[in-house]
Chain A
């Protein structure tokens, strides 16, 4: 299923050049975006773009198995782990832009430019006229890329593979130990919470609903008390904190009182 795709990409040279230039530009754009974006979430998404493009490049280099592993393990698992940790740590924990070491940023960029230039110049120069053997023969030795890699894993690199298993188990244990938090107080059951609610006083049940009147029925309208005043706790606390509580509209109340006391239904303040 995957192997013919790699063969096609390896055979057609112009096709591979197009794939290379598109994915290379996107990968470098993703890497730059990852380093330059202020927020960690944006960095994670740029990083995912880079990794997907690298996976395409692996497939173009007759490594379809690695390409799939790259997508599943890196963009699927590792980047989602990053996003989860960003969720735990806080989305808007953006960088401070103050330099703690003077000139560190400039020195870092200059040194990295020198290092990158050296790498590109020396390694790129050394490889300019080296022919590519291609993996068609190696891949077809055992029937396909996956089978040939499996032959290496389970024969030549068997010990390394088993050490990798030990490493993964140790890493899982380490993560559990590090991320574990001791419980200092006993877990509160529903009964404990209920008892505490009554012992501490306050309002044990539901708070009263906001007032629903003919003119306003939004939550910022306080409920009326029997004595004609308003109940503060009937308005949600955030609305109260913002000072958005709607003042009491006395016209309705006066009207109702006038009717109930048997007076004329039309009172002063009615502007009809």
Chain B
């Protein structure tokens, strides 16, 4: 199997995630889109590791997963905190820093 197939799929998933981040308004869905982009990058890492016959790519993908897990924990805690004060999970609502 040619590695370019995996890379093209990774690019497609990354683009779909980018659309989700830019278009969706619900903070949780935006977060999930960021996760999708990270997963696409992971897929590229794994495919490149297989292509080069080198396990470093898999190691980096593992570290990406760990960082993504930490990011999800803190991000979701922030979303819950904002929801408690503003009663909304929309990313248009928190505009206190705007003016």
Name A93's contact: one of B22, B26, B62, B66 (CB within 8 Å). Answer: B26
Count chain A residues whose beta carbon lies closer than 8 angstroms to a beta carbon of B.
Answer: 87
Instruction: Give the contacts of A22-73 with B (CB-CB under 8 A).
Output: 24, 27-28, 31-32, 34-35, 40, 43-44, 47, 50-51, 54, 57-58, 60-63, 65-66, 69-70, 73
Name B59's contact: one of A40, A137, A157 (CB within 8 Å). Answer: A157
Report the minimal beta-carbon distance from A255 to chain B, rounded to whole angstroms.
Answer: 55
Instruction: Give the contacts of B63-99 with A (CB-CB under 8 A).
Output: 63, 65-74, 76-81, 83-84, 88-90, 92
Q: A96-B90, A135-B55 are in contact. Are A31 and B36 (CB under 8 A)?
A: yes
Instruction: Please tell me if the beta carbons of A73 and B3 are within 8 angstroms of each other in the complex.
Output: no
How many angstroms between the C-alpha atoms of A99 and B87 in the bound complex? 20
Count chain B residues whose beta carbon lies closer than 8 angstroms to a beta carbon of A.
Answer: 71
Name B66's contact: one of A86, A109, A152, A167 (CB within 8 Å). Answer: A167
Instruction: Please tell me if the beta carbons of A181 and B84 are within 8 angstroms of each other in the complex.
Output: yes
Q: A50-B13, A109-B23 are in contact. Are A66 and B77 (CB under 8 A)?
A: no
Identify 14 new A-B residue pairs, CB closer than 8 A, beyond the known A50-B36, A66-B65. A27-B9, A28-B13, A34-B20, A61-B6, A61-B47, A78-B72, A104-B23, A133-B54, A145-B58, A149-B58, A157-B63, A171-B74, A172-B73, A178-B80
Complex contacts, B90 vs chain A, CB 8 Å:
93, 95-96
Instruction: Please tell me if the beta carbons of A78 and B68 are within 8 angstroms of each other in the complex.
Output: yes
Report the minimal beta-carbon distance from A77 to chain B, rounded to whole angstroms.
Answer: 7
Instruction: Give the contacts of A99-154 with B (CB-CB under 8 A).
Output: 100, 104-105, 108-109, 111-113, 115-116, 119-120, 123-124, 127-128, 130, 132-135, 137-139, 145, 148-149, 152-153
